[in-house]
Structure 1
């Protein structure tokens, strides 16, 4: 769906969304598609790219804010769709930082397995279109639907994932949330009437959080690794507002050319944004063996996390 069409639906100038966010398009899931359908398709592509079968997967970790149901986990739905009968499966509710949280979970699981360990699937997926108030320009302008997945397996030093650093600040949980549908405000005629089942976002607070957290994550990751921001071959940030995140590159000590920004074409796809942007960068030939790649996620909760990858030979 084109942003100019979304702008018109909001009664705005056709260029309003693109001028403020840089987002040109976003995908909308078909009516019959749930999060598990998008996630399974992305996981299947990741398995084929890795030359693996579903039977090779021992763990499925799925990050999402828009699950098929409150329970069971959407990861279990994906396990069934893939036919990965030997895989443990569960969801992670860390919003847009869910992929980084999933990486940490998969790394810990792999480290505890025998030498001939199976592989792990880490998936990010969102179907935000089902949770938007079409009259709310602050959310409708930003969010899209999407899924992406990564396969993790053993790697030999010096290649692979470095330490994963995670953080959260629950005191700001109200800044971005879907307030109804859980145990605090179960579904009722009142919650439907006040659109409690749609995304509510404090735009100013969210913008301030992004402006502070992204440069901080870059500084933390590079200082811990004993490198400089300029040494990073690629930086993959979450991109709720692509234009805003790109504008923060100088504050983080980065050249904008170091950033992998794909949100211009898909909008904010939440937990899927990091693996999707990384895949786009890999397909474009932007990463070579030995390159340092920073993954930096942040989102509702508030949650955040980062890790450095020393890219392995293909």
Structure 2
């Protein structure tokens, strides 16, 4: 069995911005109403001629450069997304070609906001068994294309972007210490897109835009991420004091604060990028990771707890020695 470590990180967000002040004018609400409920001051928005693969490609290149690897050295691509450029083929196949990789396996994961952690867990298994040496893991979404800007409960939350890591075989230490994932499909209608699938093709009656039970999602998010953190710490035998940084899914600042309170984690240890980027689904954790690495907060050897929840309901955590 081979240990797996994060050897490179990268991210990319669109240039376009939508501030909470601009959004408040669109929705006819006060800016403070948005910021106080979400902690989001602005979110990134893709231009009309941009799509998910554009940000995923740039993030992947930066992760490869950070890992000092060439595209042809990658053995597998895992792309977590809810918003591929097309319903088919997979986003990962586009990236394999665009990056100039060998004809390697390329898979998409449709696992909402927990997609990145799900891909990380799968990548680790391939590394552990010796099947692959370097796996490119990407979380990328253009959620503004699924956002109904007449719905105040969802319009204030979402943005676009991509983050990526390279997971590599390690010689000296275990980088990925533990991962836990769970699902409970009873809650799938608490946050979903009614139209656009095989059940209800997109139409005037069934729009392909998100709808959400905000209060229910808030409670489920806090409960699930807190329990995932406790479970992952119990699995590893670590205490919360031994965690240097917590990187939660950047859904909403109030959710992040509630999880920190419930887990007795000081907010000073919580990486927060939601104020600048909003909720970009599977991209939030790798974007936050890359941001904190680049600004010097996260250093090699730091122990990280990554937490996420998403529509499904899906939730999970990963303990990582960076």
2:40 to 5, 23, 29: 23
The reply to whether residue 304 of structure 1 matches residue 315 of structure 2 is yes
Provide, for residues 211-262 of structure 1, a one-character-per-residue CA deviation record: whole Å limited to 9, x for no partner: 2112212211112211211210011111211233124312112111111111
1:49 to 44, 60, 66: 66
TM-score, length basis structure 2: 0.91
The answer for unaligned runs of 5 or more in structure 2 is: 1-17
Deviation for aligned residue 1:113: 3.1
Aligned match of 1:188: 203
SS of 1:264's partner is: helix
- d(CA) in 2 for partners of 1:51 and 1:290? 19
TM-score, length basis structure 1: 0.93
The answer for unaligned runs of 5 or more in structure 1 is: none
- d(CA) in 1 for partners of 2:130 and 2:173? 20
Aligned match of 2:257: 246
1:98 to 115, 133, 146: 115
Contact residue 37 and residue 78 of structure 1 kept, 8 A: no
Contact residue 60 and residue 136 of structure 2 kept, 8 A: yes
1:13 to 23, 30, 33: 30
Aligned match of 2:142: 127
SS of 1:174's partner is: helix
Segment drifting more, 262-271 vs 282-291 = 282-291
Q: CA RMSD in A?
A: 1.4
Q: How many residues align?
A: 305
Contact residue 55 and residue 86 of structure 1 kept, 8 A: no
Contact residue 26 and residue 143 of structure 1 kept, 8 A: yes
Provide, for residues 41-84 of structure 1, a one-character-per-residue CA deviation record: whole Å limited to 9, x for no partner: 11111111111111011111011111212211111111121111
2:218 to 201, 207, 210: 207
Contact residue 135 and residue 166 of structure 2 kept, 8 A: yes
